[in-house]
Amino acid sequence: MIHNPIRVTIWNEGRHEKRKPEAAAVYPKGIHGALADHLNKAGGFTVRTGVLDDPQHGLQADVVNDTDVMLWWGHLHHKEVADEVVDRVHQRVLDGMGLLVLHSAHFSKIFKKLMGTTCDLKWREDKDERVILWVTRPGHPIVEGIDDHFILPHEEMYGEYFDIPEPQTTFLISSFSGGEVFRSGCTWSRGAGRVVYFRPGHETFPSYHDKNVLRIIENAVRWAAPTRPPKPVEFGKRVRGWIDQK
Ligand code: ZN
Protein backbone atom coordinates (compact mmCIF):
# COMPACT_ATOMS: atom_id res chain seq x y z
CA MET A 1 0.00 0.00 0.00
CA ILE A 2 1.31 3.42 -0.93
CA HIS A 3 1.30 5.91 1.91
CA ASN A 4 0.92 9.62 1.41
CA PRO A 5 2.56 11.32 3.21
CA ILE A 6 5.56 8.99 3.11
CA ARG A 7 6.36 7.66 6.60
CA VAL A 8 10.05 8.29 7.25
CA THR A 9 12.23 7.16 10.15
CA ILE A 10 15.63 8.82 10.43
CA TRP A 11 18.02 6.72 12.45
CA ASN A 12 21.26 8.23 13.74
CA GLU A 13 23.90 6.80 16.03
CA GLY A 14 23.75 10.22 17.68
CA ARG A 15 26.85 9.94 19.86
CA HIS A 16 29.23 12.37 18.11
CA GLU A 17 26.80 15.24 18.61
CA LYS A 18 26.74 14.48 22.36
CA ARG A 19 30.45 13.91 22.85
CA LYS A 20 32.22 16.02 20.24
CA PRO A 21 31.63 19.78 20.56
CA GLU A 22 32.72 20.33 16.94
CA ALA A 23 29.96 17.96 15.74
CA ALA A 24 27.37 19.57 18.03
CA ALA A 25 28.39 22.97 16.64
CA VAL A 26 27.59 21.86 13.07
CA TYR A 27 24.51 19.79 14.01
CA PRO A 28 23.03 21.25 17.21
CA LYS A 29 19.88 19.12 16.81
CA GLY A 30 21.89 16.10 15.70
CA ILE A 31 22.34 14.88 12.12
CA HIS A 32 18.88 13.30 12.41
CA GLY A 33 17.47 16.69 13.46
CA ALA A 34 19.03 18.46 10.48
CA LEU A 35 17.63 15.88 8.05
CA ALA A 36 14.22 15.88 9.76
CA ASP A 37 14.06 19.69 9.52
CA HIS A 38 14.66 19.53 5.78
CA LEU A 39 12.08 16.80 5.10
CA ASN A 40 9.49 18.54 7.28
CA LYS A 41 10.08 21.78 5.40
CA ALA A 42 9.93 20.02 2.01
CA GLY A 43 6.53 18.49 2.85
CA GLY A 44 4.97 15.17 1.92
CA PHE A 45 6.59 13.26 4.77
CA THR A 46 5.78 12.31 8.34
CA VAL A 47 9.14 12.09 10.06
CA ARG A 48 10.23 10.17 13.14
CA THR A 49 13.75 9.90 14.50
CA GLY A 50 15.62 7.37 16.63
CA VAL A 51 19.12 7.19 18.09
CA LEU A 52 21.32 4.40 19.40
CA ASP A 53 20.73 5.28 23.05
CA ASP A 54 16.92 5.10 22.78
CA PRO A 55 15.24 1.91 24.06
CA GLN A 56 15.62 -0.63 21.21
CA HIS A 57 17.48 2.22 19.47
CA GLY A 58 14.07 3.78 18.78
CA LEU A 59 13.36 0.97 16.31
CA GLN A 60 10.64 -1.00 18.06
CA ALA A 61 8.65 -3.40 15.88
CA ASP A 62 5.71 -1.03 15.45
CA VAL A 63 8.01 1.83 14.40
CA VAL A 64 9.83 -0.31 11.84
CA ASN A 65 6.60 -1.81 10.50
CA ASP A 66 5.08 1.64 10.09
CA THR A 67 8.08 3.00 8.17
CA ASP A 68 8.11 3.42 4.39
CA VAL A 69 11.67 4.72 4.14
CA MET A 70 14.43 4.59 6.75
CA LEU A 71 17.60 6.70 6.76
CA TRP A 72 20.65 5.29 8.52
CA TRP A 73 23.68 7.20 9.81
CA GLY A 74 26.27 5.44 12.00
CA HIS A 75 30.00 5.59 12.51
CA LEU A 76 31.85 4.32 15.59
CA HIS A 77 29.24 2.17 17.32
CA HIS A 78 27.85 -0.14 14.62
CA LYS A 79 28.56 -3.14 16.85
CA GLU A 80 26.26 -1.82 19.57
CA VAL A 81 23.23 -2.06 17.33
CA ALA A 82 21.33 -5.14 18.52
CA ASP A 83 21.18 -8.00 16.02
CA GLU A 84 17.49 -8.36 16.76
CA VAL A 85 16.90 -4.79 15.57
CA VAL A 86 19.08 -5.33 12.50
CA ASP A 87 17.07 -8.47 11.61
CA ARG A 88 13.83 -6.52 12.01
CA VAL A 89 15.01 -3.73 9.70
CA HIS A 90 16.39 -6.29 7.22
CA GLN A 91 13.07 -8.13 7.05
CA ARG A 92 11.21 -4.86 6.59
CA VAL A 93 13.48 -3.97 3.63
CA LEU A 94 12.72 -7.35 2.04
CA ASP A 95 9.03 -6.58 2.58
CA GLY A 96 9.33 -3.30 0.67
CA MET A 97 10.74 -0.56 2.92
CA GLY A 98 13.25 1.80 1.31
CA LEU A 99 16.60 2.24 3.08
CA LEU A 100 18.94 5.19 2.56
CA VAL A 101 22.40 4.44 3.95
CA LEU A 102 24.51 7.53 4.59
CA HIS A 103 28.27 8.13 4.71
CA SER A 104 30.07 5.98 7.34
CA ALA A 105 27.03 3.70 7.62
CA HIS A 106 28.70 1.75 4.81
CA PHE A 107 30.07 -0.34 7.72
CA SER A 108 26.72 -0.67 9.49
CA LYS A 109 25.44 -4.18 10.24
CA ILE A 110 22.31 -3.59 8.19
CA PHE A 111 24.17 -2.44 5.06
CA LYS A 112 26.71 -5.28 5.22
CA LYS A 113 23.89 -7.79 5.71
CA LEU A 114 22.00 -6.43 2.71
CA MET A 115 25.11 -6.28 0.51
CA GLY A 116 26.78 -9.54 1.58
CA THR A 117 30.25 -8.03 1.10
CA THR A 118 32.78 -6.30 3.38
CA CYS A 119 31.72 -2.79 2.20
CA ASP A 120 35.32 -1.70 2.86
CA LEU A 121 36.83 1.32 1.12
CA LYS A 122 39.89 3.59 1.03
CA TRP A 123 39.87 6.45 3.46
CA ARG A 124 42.00 9.44 4.37
CA GLU A 125 41.83 10.66 7.92
CA ASP A 126 41.36 14.13 9.35
CA LYS A 127 41.81 15.91 6.09
CA ASP A 128 38.95 17.92 4.82
CA GLU A 129 39.11 18.56 1.14
CA ARG A 130 37.19 19.70 -1.87
CA VAL A 131 35.16 17.08 -3.69
CA ILE A 132 33.35 17.28 -7.01
CA LEU A 133 30.27 15.05 -7.31
CA TRP A 134 29.46 14.18 -10.92
CA VAL A 135 26.03 12.99 -11.99
CA THR A 136 26.39 9.71 -13.87
CA ARG A 137 22.66 9.03 -14.43
CA PRO A 138 21.04 12.25 -15.63
CA GLY A 139 17.27 11.84 -15.65
CA HIS A 140 17.24 9.46 -12.68
CA PRO A 141 14.62 10.63 -10.12
CA ILE A 142 17.26 10.76 -7.36
CA VAL A 143 19.22 13.49 -9.19
CA GLU A 144 16.20 15.52 -10.27
CA GLY A 145 17.03 19.22 -9.90
CA ILE A 146 20.79 18.58 -9.67
CA ASP A 147 23.14 20.12 -12.24
CA ASP A 148 25.70 17.91 -14.02
CA HIS A 149 27.94 18.30 -10.97
CA PHE A 150 28.19 20.06 -7.63
CA ILE A 151 31.08 20.83 -5.30
CA LEU A 152 31.41 20.34 -1.56
CA PRO A 153 34.35 22.31 -0.21
CA HIS A 154 34.76 20.22 2.97
CA GLU A 155 34.50 16.45 2.80
CA GLU A 156 36.34 13.38 3.96
CA MET A 157 37.99 11.23 1.27
CA TYR A 158 36.36 7.87 0.55
CA GLY A 159 38.06 6.13 -2.37
CA GLU A 160 37.77 3.06 -4.57
CA TYR A 161 37.94 0.19 -4.33
CA PHE A 162 34.57 0.14 -2.53
CA ASP A 163 33.70 -3.51 -1.87
CA ILE A 164 30.02 -3.56 -2.79
CA PRO A 165 28.05 -5.72 -5.21
CA GLU A 166 27.71 -4.07 -8.63
CA PRO A 167 24.97 -1.45 -8.13
CA GLN A 168 21.81 -1.45 -10.22
CA THR A 169 22.39 2.25 -10.74
CA THR A 170 25.37 4.46 -9.95
CA PHE A 171 23.98 7.97 -10.04
CA LEU A 172 26.98 9.89 -8.67
CA ILE A 173 30.73 9.57 -8.55
CA SER A 174 33.06 11.71 -6.46
CA SER A 175 36.42 13.07 -7.49
CA PHE A 176 38.69 14.19 -4.66
CA SER A 177 41.53 16.69 -4.68
CA GLY A 178 43.98 13.81 -4.12
CA GLY A 179 42.88 12.24 -7.42
CA GLU A 180 40.80 9.43 -5.91
CA VAL A 181 37.33 8.61 -7.19
CA PHE A 182 34.41 6.95 -5.43
CA ARG A 183 30.96 5.62 -6.38
CA SER A 184 29.01 7.97 -4.14
CA GLY A 185 25.40 7.34 -5.09
CA CYS A 186 24.30 3.76 -5.72
CA THR A 187 21.08 1.76 -5.70
CA TRP A 188 20.16 -1.90 -5.27
CA SER A 189 16.98 -3.93 -4.85
CA ARG A 190 16.68 -6.40 -2.00
CA GLY A 191 13.43 -8.31 -1.98
CA ALA A 192 10.69 -5.73 -2.54
CA GLY A 193 12.81 -2.94 -1.02
CA ARG A 194 15.02 -0.31 -2.57
CA VAL A 195 18.41 0.39 -1.01
CA VAL A 196 20.39 3.58 -1.67
CA TYR A 197 23.91 4.45 -0.57
CA PHE A 198 24.86 8.15 -0.54
CA ARG A 199 28.39 9.03 0.60
CA PRO A 200 28.55 12.69 1.79
CA GLY A 201 28.05 13.63 5.42
CA HIS A 202 30.93 13.54 7.91
CA GLU A 203 29.78 14.63 11.38
CA THR A 204 31.99 17.71 11.60
CA PHE A 205 31.39 19.00 8.05
CA PRO A 206 28.24 20.90 7.09
CA SER A 207 27.32 18.58 4.18
CA TYR A 208 23.79 18.03 5.53
CA HIS A 209 23.17 21.76 5.25
CA ASP A 210 24.13 21.78 1.55
CA LYS A 211 21.17 22.30 -0.77
CA ASN A 212 22.28 19.70 -3.33
CA VAL A 213 22.91 17.05 -0.68
CA LEU A 214 19.53 17.71 0.93
CA ARG A 215 17.79 17.64 -2.45
CA ILE A 216 19.33 14.24 -3.27
CA ILE A 217 18.31 12.87 0.14
CA GLU A 218 14.77 14.15 -0.35
CA ASN A 219 14.60 12.74 -3.89
CA ALA A 220 16.02 9.41 -2.71
CA VAL A 221 13.40 9.11 0.04
CA ARG A 222 10.60 9.73 -2.47
CA TRP A 223 12.16 7.26 -4.93
CA ALA A 224 12.71 4.51 -2.35
CA ALA A 225 9.17 4.65 -0.94
CA PRO A 226 7.27 1.39 -1.54
CA THR A 227 5.18 1.43 -4.69
CA ARG A 228 3.82 -2.11 -4.63
CA PRO A 229 2.37 -4.45 -2.04
CA PRO A 230 5.06 -6.04 0.09
CA LYS A 231 3.97 -9.62 -0.47
CA PRO A 232 3.62 -10.48 -4.17
CA VAL A 233 2.35 -13.94 -3.13
CA GLU A 234 -1.05 -12.37 -2.48
CA PHE A 235 -1.46 -11.89 -6.22
CA GLY A 236 -0.93 -15.62 -6.62
CA LYS A 237 -3.61 -16.36 -4.07
CA ARG A 238 -6.00 -14.04 -5.86
CA VAL A 239 -5.33 -15.70 -9.21
CA ARG A 240 -5.71 -19.17 -7.71
CA GLY A 241 -8.98 -18.07 -6.12
CA TRP A 242 -10.21 -16.83 -9.45
CA ILE A 243 -9.24 -20.07 -11.16
CA ASP A 244 -10.92 -22.12 -8.43
CA GLN A 245 -14.16 -20.23 -8.96
CA LYS A 246 -14.26 -21.06 -12.66
ZN1 ZN B 1 33.11 10.55 8.38
**pLDDT for residue 240:** 53
Ligand 1 centroid to Cα of residue 8, in Å, is 23
| Model pTM score | 0.92
- Domains in the chain, please, with CATH? 6-116+183-230 (3.40.50.880)
**pLDDT for residue 1:** 60
Ligand 1 centroid to Cα of residue 194, in Å, is 24
Ligand 1 centroid to Cα of residue 165, in Å, is 22
Ligand 1 centroid to Cα of residue 85, in Å, is 23
Ligand 1 centroid to Cα of residue 104, in Å, is 6
Ligand 1 centroid to Cα of residue 202, in Å, is 4
Its sign, for the CA torsion 53, 105, 45, 146, is positive
Ligand 1 centroid to Cα of residue 157, in Å, is 9
Ligand 1 centroid to Cα of residue 146, in Å, is 23
Ligand 1 centroid to Cα of residue 128, in Å, is 10
**pLDDT for residue 234:** 57
Ligand 1 centroid to Cα of residue 55, in Å, is 25
**pLDDT for residue 3:** 84
Ligand 1 centroid to Cα of residue 80, in Å, is 18
Ligand 1 centroid to Cα of residue 105, in Å, is 9
**pLDDT for residue 209:** 98
| Tens-level pLDDT at each residue, the chain (246 residues) | 678 999 999 999 999 999 999 999 999 999 999 999 999 999 999 999 999 999 999 999 999 999 999 999 999 999 999 999 999 999 999 999 999 999 999 999 999 999 999 999 999 866 778 999 999 999 999 999 999 999 999 999 999 999 999 999 999 999 999 899 999 999 999 999 999 999 999 999 999 999 999 999 999 999 999 986 655 555 556 555 444 443
